[in-house]
Chains A and B, each alone.
Chain A
Amino acid sequence: MSNAAARNADLRGRLSLPAILTGILGILSLVVLVIDFWPYLANGQVPQALFSPDETDFDQILFHFSTLPRLAMAFLCGAGLALAGAAIQTVLRNPLASPTTLGVGAGVEFALTLFVLLAPASLAMFQEAFALAGGLIALGAVYLIAANRGNATLWLILAGMIVNLLLQSGSQIILLFNEQYLQSIFMWGAGDLAQNGWEDMQFVWPRVLMGMIAILALSRPLDLLALGDDTAGSLGAKVTVLRLLILGLAVFITASVISAAGMIGFIGLAIPAALRIAGLSRSRDLMIYSLFTGGFALLIVDFVVRQFNGLGGDPLPTGAATALFGAPFIIFMLRKARIMPGTQNDDQHSDQQIISKTALSIALAVSLVIGVVFSLFVSLDGNGFVILGWQDSSLDILIGRSERTFAAMICGAALAVSGTLIQRVGRNPLASPEITGVSSATALAMILALAILGFGQRAELMVIGAAGGIASLLVLLALCRKFTHAPHYMLLNGLAMTAILGAMVRIVLTRSGTQTSILMSWLAGTTYFTNMNEVMIVAGVTGALLILAIALRRPLELASLGTDQSVSLGLGISGFQFAMMLLAAILAASATLLVGPLSFVGLMAPHLARVAGYRLAGGHLLGAVLIGVNVMMVAEWLARNMIYPAQLPTGLIAALIGTGYFLILAIRKR
């Protein structure tokens, strides 16, 4: 605890820093208010504009019913989310926790999307309860996956990422079948603060205020929680009840805010984390400061965003813009805050091998062969199974099916190798290729080229995508050039980059009209557009890199032991780790080029392979490839046939399989 003492001393030294920060934001907010109120300040009509606007003066009506509620909404949403973030961070003792990183936002969004599009009007009164339940279930799932792990900080974040990805996939599936309403849902999903009257405000303020008061009332016990379960327990606080209560309230605030204003990312993460770095450690102070700083910050960001919304142009959604501002800040914060412990030896699986490795390998190989034959010759046509008979067009149909099946399988292999390398080198069993940010960057480049710049040819898009992937790789390398904790930094920087890119994708999606659904299915990972040449090229790259990785299996083995041991064994481990990460990133980018940023296979296949008993690096790689290929093959068949003639993105099915697996795993571990 000498660390805490040092921090206290430090705190006394710069006690005023959080106050200065809040003060500056407060003054800027005041400036915003003065600018917005100026016309009425100048002619002394402020009270009138505030309370009883002149019904014949359009500007005054607009000010009273659009600008004012928007200002209030921005402050309230910012304050609510920041306070919720501070509460969640304190309860979970995790400086990277927040409503968005822990899947609460995605849970609420999923529930609301489901509700708005599918529930009959008669159930409208249950909408709020439904949204709240969505958020709580998501948080519960994240907690379940991460509970009882050695390195709770990282596990929670990674579990949050998994749940986020799953729920976003879920929302996308629903949206894909309601594409006529995509535009409105996307505006809301991207965090839209535009107001039209005080109705939303009247919905939000009592809820958020109630939640705030309750959390602040509970904040004294929170300080006990911050000391750790043992201490708090001995002090007599009913730890579990209190934790759940506060988390529930935080989710309640988040759900209310998101119901009204959509996804507004990063305020809940960045504000409390920044204040903590600035020296606040007592939870009550942290929360009160977070409340005001968060409110001011969103007010200012929204003001900036409003300036870009000229009449007639496509509006820029505030929530997505917040993520653009917030995510770079996370990268900055990662360098300031020492949140990553130096060693990481958690999750040493003590599970028994399920069956013998040889038997498993043979079983996987057999299922692969049978699966390929089945995939090519059997399909569903809405009435039942159809076995492909011999006709003129059979050969063409077989070629079409094999293009897609092989594309999925190759991607499964590429991502499995990529994931194995990242998990081994990062010594983190929940790490996956997506979180290097390379696939997101590849996807973003292709989407920008397609939707904004108007490139339509696949070959052009591939080149642009590859360029995007490489550029993001370089950025990542530049950010991680200090090798001390390279793998962790890489993962967390990747997380931040994924968030930035995700925000940009959301912005693009709000303005791409009828192409949106194409982009969405592609984002979720579809084999629809692939052709055999591309499959062959990616297969070649994957094969070559797999062989390279297997050739390097000994140093890879040492790298997975942990830096300390391997350094003492005389290996220049950082450079090697780095090269392996590079390899992994190239593989992830190739897979993305082929079918889009497929999630989960890169996470699941290596994990499953290890649990199944493939311990040594070489076997681990091959086992993961076998599993990855099998999973993708199944996902691809389901995607093509489940709801014929419509087709689901393969990545969504793979994501569903993958998350299901992790939830079962998490439950079995208890």
Chain B
Amino acid sequence: MNILRALVCPVLLCAALIGATMSPVMADPIEIEHERGILRLDTPAKRIATINWSFTESVIALGLDPVAIADPQDYVDWVAKPDLPESFVDLGPRASPNLEALRAAKPDLIITVPDIGMAYEKLAEIAPVLELKLFDGKNPAFETAREVFDKIARATGRETLAQAYLENVDQKLREYGKRVKTAIGPDQKINVVFFFDESNVGIFADTSLPGSVMTAMDVPVAYDGEVNKWGFGRGGLEILAPYAKETLVYTTPVPEVILDKLLNSPIWKVMDFSRNNRVYELPVVWAYGGVPSALRFARLLTETIESGPQQ
């Protein structure tokens, strides 16, 4: 984080200096480094369109209502909080946001992910585009989420607010971390898992969003095996076996049928965490989100563990 800042700041400073000398008339244009080079905005953006939930929640957390949002219905089911604004333009699926609807929303900034980079030019015709990567397979997701949060704050001219928000997050994470450690005991680590179906599970490592948040909370992450770009490993239930002595938390929503079968399966039942009652169900929180989801995850993890294991 600090290293990154140290790297990014001089670049921005230089860029700002060059910008200042080249166009002295402009009053401090905002310059943000993103996947397509440097985005320049003359004034802070006010009408934001978000093509990814991570951006949607970050913009809302910064006190701004996005004017256009992709996949709002699923946001309610999978991200839950913060609440969506009362009125906005529904852009349809994240994979192919409706360009005419987007244009009709008259955004002055579109925040998107490289996954639909193929549509970059089309988006750029409508409004300036900020294309930010959320998962690169190397950086811990929480750090990336903070950088993204910073960039969105600068694009919207809300740096002070963002700084306060992040400071609050840091303080809360430390506090939650202490509470979790008190609740689970000094020797326990935590597995955060999710269920694909009744025999396949995913398990988050320290580069994932839940994992990197736990690192920031100083709560030890159990899983240290192979992972993909999003920071989770994947396999049959046996993938959990080496970490069965630790505590297990699973994310929701999971279809009832799958959960029933899985929790009643012999392999699950024989695992140390289920024999010794160290299984917790986490309420809905978006495990691939931004800073607001990170904070929400920390809070829900703490509350879940403090309120005792699932019976």
Contact = CB atoms under 8 A, between A and B. Distances in A.
A400 B102 CA distance: 12
B235 A196 contact: no
Contacts of B225: 311-312
Interface stretch (B4-12, B55-63, B183-191, B193-201): B193-201
Given A121-B256, A194-B199, A521 B95 contact: yes
Contacts of B114: 456
The contact size tier of chain B is: 35 or more
A528 interface: yes
A647 interface: yes
Interface string B234-265: 11111101001000000000011110011001
B187 to A, nearest CB: 20
Nearest to A55: B270
Contacts of B95: 179, 517-518, 521
B234 A314 contact: yes
B262 A521 contact: no
Contact of B244 (A58, A181, A314, A513): A58
Contacts of B236: 66, 194, 196, 309, 315
A65 B265 contact: yes
A96 interface: no
Most buried by B among A511, A517, A528: A528
A400 B230 CA distance: 34
A647 B98 contact: yes
A400 B121 CA distance: 12
B98 A61 contact: no
B13 interface: no
Interface in A187-246: 187-188, 192, 194-197, 199
Contact of A400 (B78, B100, B257): B100
Interface stretch (B86-94, B206-214, B294-302): B86-94
B256 A315 contact: no
B20 interface: no
B224 to A, nearest CB: 10
Contact of A312 (B90, B101, B233, B268): B233
B122 A400 contact: yes
A199 B261 contact: yes
B118 A458 contact: yes
A192 B200 contact: yes
Interface in B64-108: 74, 77-78, 89-96, 98-101, 103-104
A62 B121 CA distance: 52
A61 B270 contact: yes
B227 interface: yes
Given A61-B266, A314-B234, A529 B200 contact: no
B1 interface: no
A393 interface: yes
Contacts of B121: 531
Contact of B270 (A58, A180, A647): A58
Contacts of B235: 309, 311-313, 315
Interface in A150-200: 176, 179-181, 183-184, 187-188, 192, 194-197, 199
B125 A311 contact: no
B53 to A, nearest CB: 10
A400 B99 contact: yes
A518 B96 contact: yes
Contacts of B126: 396
B93 to A, nearest CB: 6
A124 B200 CA distance: 22
Interface string A505-535: 0000001011101100100001011010000
A66 B93 CA distance: 38
A517 to B, nearest CB: 4
Contacts of B89: 645
B96 A521 contact: yes
Contact of A184 (B93, B196, B237): B196
B231 to A, nearest CB: 11
Given A61-B270, A180-B74, A531-B122, A517 B93 contact: yes
Contacts of A66: 236-238, 267
Interface of B: 74, 77-78, 89-96, 98-101, 103-104, 114-119, 121-122, 125-126, 196-200, 225-230, 233-239, 241, 244, 255-258, 261-262, 265-268, 270-271, 288
5 contacts: A188-B197, A311-B239, A312-B233, A315-B200, A528-B96
Q: Which 8 A-B pairs have the closest CB atoms?
A: A312-B226, A312-B233, A456-B117, A312-B225, A196-B199, A645-B92, A646-B92, A645-B98
Interface of A: 55, 58, 61-62, 64-66, 121, 124, 176, 179-181, 183-184, 187-188, 192, 194-197, 199, 309-315, 379, 393, 396-397, 400-401, 456-458, 461, 511, 513-515, 517-518, 521, 526, 528-529, 531, 644-647
